[in-house]
Structure 1
Amino acid sequence: MAVVYPADPGMGMTPEPESAASTEPEQTVTTRLRGAFGLIGDYLRSDRWLAQLIRFALVGGFSNIGYFLLFTACYGSGPQLANLIGSVVSTAIANELHRRLTFHAADRVGWLTAQIEGGGLALAGLAITSAALALLDVVAPGMGDIAEAIAVIVITAAVGTLRFLSLRLWVF
């Protein structure tokens, strides 16, 4: 693809176009990459359920990192207080990010509504996870560390899925 520059009236001459042979392969690859990344970006910003699920997982991951950092920073005040602060702050931030980014609902759902309903779902998820782990301890008390870790991952994934569906279908 040759680049043609408009004539510069002050100079009285027109620049010569660049050689098509030297720049075309590079421009074609660059153009294709921009096009592919543009399509992926457009899809990830869409309101399709898979795009929302990907954004939901990213927000959740960053929320967990934020929780860990807050917990670590507040641990000197005791683990219970550190857990409370980390949970409340990271949940509030995640609810706001879900409202604005995951579900594009900033114009439909107010901040307080998102915090109350999203926070209620977070508490329900905590209760379900705690109950499932307690039941697991009663049903399979001799479970090994690896099996228990896998069970925690499965339970947490199930609760996360329920939270995503509840937020998508009910809250936002």
Structure 2
Amino acid sequence: MTCPSLLVRRPAAGETAGSVAGRLRGEDTLAQFTRFVLVGGSTTLVYAALFVALEGFGYLPAHVVATATSTVLANEMHRRLTFHAGERVTWLTAQLEAGGVTVVGLLLSSTALGVLDSLAPDASVVTQVALVVTVTGLVGLMRFIALRWLFRPRTATTA
């Protein structure tokens, strides 16, 4: 449901169809993926800031709180900005749709942090964040595929 139908958006007044802004506002896969990456990058910065701020509580609590906070923010930004679905999809629906993939990502990144902690207990916070960013990037690709193609509105078939 998050992804709108793949109708092409018309350029706004004063905007040409070939401009960067015009391309980024499009509904094609490249435009949506570019917006997805920009949202993901910005919410990853939120994750990193929270993780560093909370790291004194231990890597796992910091990771869970930072992941939950940045995920809720990312889901909302994807709903409104990436997929332009703010009027069609509720906040709760967007959280639930992306939540399943997020849980997989949380489990994978938590496992990766646990393995890192057991292999290199003195790993720096930069190394920990870099590991989570790498795992999250891979999970993000899965999220994009799910939100773009699995949760898009189905067209009714006629008999």
Q: Same fold (TM over 0.5)?
A: yes
In structure 2, list runs of 5 or more residues that go unmatched. Answer: 1-13, 113-129, 153-159
Is 2:92 the counterpart of 1:112? yes
Secondary structure of the equivalent of 1:108? coil
- By relative contact order (CA 8 Å, sep 6+), the higher-ranking structure is 2
Give the conservation status (yes or no) of the 8 Å contact 1:118–1:171: no
> AA paired with 1:73?
A
Runs ≥4 residues deviating over 3 A: 34-38, 125-131, 155-159
If each structure's helix is expressed as a fraction of its own residues, which one has the higher value?
1
Which deviations, in whole Å up to 9, do the C-alpha atoms of 1:88-127 show, x marking residues without a partner?
Answer: 0000000000000000011111101111121211112344
* TM-fit CA distance, 1:78: 2.7
In structure 1, list runs of 5 or more residues that go unmatched. Answer: 1-33, 134-148
Give the alignment's TM-score, normalised by structure 2. Answer: 0.64
The number of aligned residues is: 125
Q: Which residue of 1 aligns with 2:144?
A: 164
Which deviations, in whole Å up to 9, do the C-alpha atoms of 1:112-165 show, x marking residues without a partner?
Answer: 11111212111123446678x7xxxxxxxxxxxxxxx9xx95x76543322111
Query: 1:161 & 1:74 partners in 2: Cα distance?
Result: 27
Query: Percent identity, aligned pairs only?
Result: 45
**Within 5 Å, which residues of 2 pair with 1:116-155?**
116-127=96-107, 153=134
Larger Rg: 1
**Within 5 Å, which residues of 2 pair with 1:11-160?**
39-127=19-107, 153=134, 157-160=137-140
Give the conservation status (yes or no) of the 8 Å contact 2:15–2:21: no
Cα RMSD (Å) of the superposition? 3.3
Give the alignment's TM-score, normalised by structure 1. Answer: 0.60
